Structure 1
Amino acid sequence: MKVDFWQLSRDPVDKVVALIAQRVLDSGERLLVVSKHAEQREAISRTLWKAGPESFLANGEASAAGADRQPILLAEACEPANAASHVIFADGQYREPTGFERAFLLFDDQTVQAARETWKSLDGTDGLERAFFRQDRGKWNKVA
């Protein structure tokens, strides 16, 4: 399993979720986006629907009918009703991503300490690959 840590600086969380979501869908996979904040999930949903001039990233809330058919599911809990293989923790709070191939922890200045503690707690975990990404002049770079 892979866990990617993405430190937000310039771009807001909804824009970064859209970037990752497009890559996940392009690879033929499904995505779960987890946030305990309903307002944040609503903002992410709006951004996904208007992701590009010629496309949109279809999504829905886990509590809505047809959640199992959504390529991108927005939820408060880490429960992939849509059989997602990838999960984004958009609120900066790490949860155990059991059953996922890849997890993305997005964090900012307010959640950086928790992200550091999570990084340390995962050190030495068998079968786990970690990576750290930071934005530099608008471009995302892997730094660890």
Structure 2
Amino acid sequence: MRVDFYQLGGLQPDSVIASIAGRLIEEGQRLLVVASDEVLLGKLDRLLWDQGPVSFLPHGMAGGPDDAAQPILLSTGADSPNQARNLLIADGEWREAALSYERAFYLFDESTLKGARMAWKLLAGREGVERNYWSSEDGRWTKKG
């Protein structure tokens, strides 16, 4: 399984999430976006609706009758009713459940840097886990580790 750590720097998580989600949708994959903060999830819900008619990202908030059909599902829990094999951690709080996915995207900023460092160390040398660290530099993602 692969874990991609994204240090946001000055970037807003919403634009990064929309970019990752859009790329996965183009590839025919599904995504579960997790955050413990329902306000953040509500903000992401509006963002994904407001991508415009050309770049609309089909999604839903977990707990609805069509969870299983959603290509992108926003949730406070790490279970995947939409059968996603990709998990995006939007709030900087590592979840061990991420290891049950094929790929996890872990977004963090200065306020959650300590937890990201701890997660990076916990995953070091773990069998079957590939770690990648990405940093935003001049509007581009640069692989650092």
Q: TM-score when scaled to structure 2? A: 0.95
The structure with the greater share of residues assigned to helix is 2
**Structure 1 partner of 2:124:** 123
Match runs of 1:54-73 below 5 Å:
54-73=54-73
User: What residue ranges of structure 2 are gaps of 5+ in the alignment?
Assistant: none
Tell me the SS of whatever aligns to 2:100.
Answer: coil
**What CA distance in whole angstroms lies between the structure 2 residues aligned with 1:127 and 1:27?**
23
**What CA distance in whole angstroms lies between the structure 2 residues aligned with 1:121 and 1:113?**
12
Query: Residues 59 and 73 of structure 1 are in contact (CA less than 8 Å); yes or no, is this contact kept in structure 2?
Result: yes
Question: Structure 1 residues 98 and 115 mapped into 2: Cα distance closer, same or farther (>3 Å)?
Answer: closer
Amino acid at match of 1:114: G
Task: Give CA-to-partner distance per residue, 1:59-93, whole Å, 9 cap, x none.
Answer: 11111121110000000010100000100000001
**Structure 2 partner of 1:84:** 84
Amino acid at match of 1:46: R
**What CA distance in whole angstroms lies between the structure 2 residues aligned with 1:31 and 1:57?**
11
Amino acid at match of 1:13: P
User: What residue ranges of structure 1 are gaps of 5+ in the alignment?
Assistant: none
* 1:38 and 2:29 correspond: no
Tell me the SS of whatever aligns to 1:55.
Answer: coil
Count of matched residue pairs: 144
**What CA distance in whole angstroms lies between the structure 1 residues aligned with 2:12 and 2:51?**
14
Amino acid at match of 1:26: E
Q: TM-score when scaled to structure 1? A: 0.96
Over 3 Å off, 4+ runs: none
Question: Alpha-carbon deviation of 1:52?
Answer: 4.7
- For structure 1, which segment, 106-115 or 3-12, has the greater mean C-alpha deviation from structure 2 after superposition? 3-12
**Structure 2 partner of 1:112:** 113
**What CA distance in whole angstroms lies between the structure 2 residues aligned with 1:15 and 1:135?**
12
**What CA distance in whole angstroms lies between the structure 2 residues aligned with 1:123 and 1:98?**
13
- Percent of counterpart pairs with the same letter? 42
Amino acid at match of 1:106: L
Amino acid at match of 2:49: W
**Structure 2 partner of 1:135:** 136
